[in-house]
A and B are shown apart, each in its own frame.
Chain A
Amino acid sequence: MSDFVIIGAGPAGISAANESARYGVKVTLIDENNLPGGQLFTQTHKFFGSREHRAGVRGFQIGYDLIEEINKLNVDVLLDTIVYGISADMEVKYVTEGSSAKSITAGNILISTGALEKPVVFKGWTKPGVMGAGAAQTMMNVHRVLPGRKVLMVGSGNVGLIVAYQLKQAGADVVGIIEAMPSIGGYKVHASKIRRIGIPILTSCTIKEAKGSPQVSSAVIVGVDKNLREISGTEDEIKCDLVCIAAGLKPFDELCWLLNLEFKYINELGGFVPVHNDDLETSMKNIYIAGDAAGVEEASTAMEEGRLVGVAVAQKLEYLSDRQAEKLKGKINDRLKYLRLGSFGKKRAEGKKKLTSISK
């Protein structure tokens, strides 16, 4: 039996563990990887956001700092452990690498399982040499292996821009970034950095085919009109051995689907998201959701959402008085509001409002 089982030790899960354990909650934190930190360890660039949210600090460093915090607190951390189901009576079922299946009964559960890359389907998309931008990022930044020498990036959101930059930094030749929409998807700062190092960004352009046998040796790109219809005659074949897909992320919520939680489709948050209230509690009592799993945002918002759940659980278990808890939540919500400003943030704030309004 555990007061609080957290599934997924990315920034959201770790922050929830730290915030609740600090007030005395007995926490079990589970992750399938052999190191807590989630997506942070794939990121070598300096984070954007505010000072308070460690802007200017590189992603992996934030990961190390969070781990140091957990090590100081009394948190039970299960690594190399994958959760494959949760029963309606709050039993969390898991398998640790190399041993048989086990389960643990939880008073409260946080699902902070992150997000998954969205694929793009075109002729040849299943060939070796077509992979997710996140996949390529892990290969170079974590394993230190260059996933390709000549790369075409599909998608100009922040992930596409940042990964293209990092590929170039790691020694690959990035032949270009293509974007189906008429304008660049990501932040201007990232786009100008890309242009400065001489990588062309082509808007209103998409990929038609990945060619080569048995693996990619070239890609056919084509111009598209406002309705994203291909304009014939504008095809161009580009030599490359890696096509990276950066078409956005969607919440990775298989465990929530298995529990039959209530979902809503919110485009601004990446797709189907579990409905939740202001404390991030889902349609099932005592089951919480936070981070990218509760709508794709950023590491900074993921950490704040994790903290919010940490406080809510500590309050429920009476480690915090209502007055103390409401004060803490107020502060966290102020910071979240601040993080959801600007043209990108505002959209996500609207998406979140749609979600929480249903649960009222």
Chain B
Amino acid sequence: MGFADAFLDMAVIARYAPSILSGMGVTLALAVLIVLAGTAAGLALACLRATGSRRLSIPIVIFADVFRALPPLALILLAYFGLPNVGVSLSSFMVLFTVLALVLAAFAEEIFWAGIAATPKGQWEAARSTGLGFRSTLLWVVLPQAARMAVAPLTNRAIAITKMTALGTVIGVPDILNQATTAVSFSGDASPLTLAALAYVAIFLPLVIASRRLERRFQWRRL
């Protein structure tokens, strides 16, 4: 059997294309939801930490460190098989979304926090000296500068974590990889995996390119 038969059997590809396409929908939906929720939660946590209150910042730091340290697969399995024991049963989609959004939130919090901390003290002092309060200063002066510093590391991290939606396969989320492996076991042919790879490229390559553009734009505007 040649390479083309193993990885590019057109009949097999045609048969399983619809299920891979539906997997693409699931992966795309997960990716969008994870990026939105994870970034928003990370930003909110970094803002809470910026208040300087230890009662807020200690639990935030612990959360960020734990969720950055644990392997996402371990978290996914733990949540999927562990939560029902404490009376919480989530669908596999919800488990995957929640875990990866939390992981992204942990990284995003650290990235935004680094940007906030790197904004010179003089920026705070200039704004406060004109009568702007803490919140206005954070919102209008510090966050725009912190966000600029965050763009590059955040897009890299967001891409890395949304790709981990493939881990959902182990708990039965019908994403691209799950559809492809199912198709492989039914057809006995690896071609669906080729299709899966194409599907991943179709979703993530535009993201990678967009992130490059975004980075360049922010660098240029800093001047």
Chains A and B bind each other: no
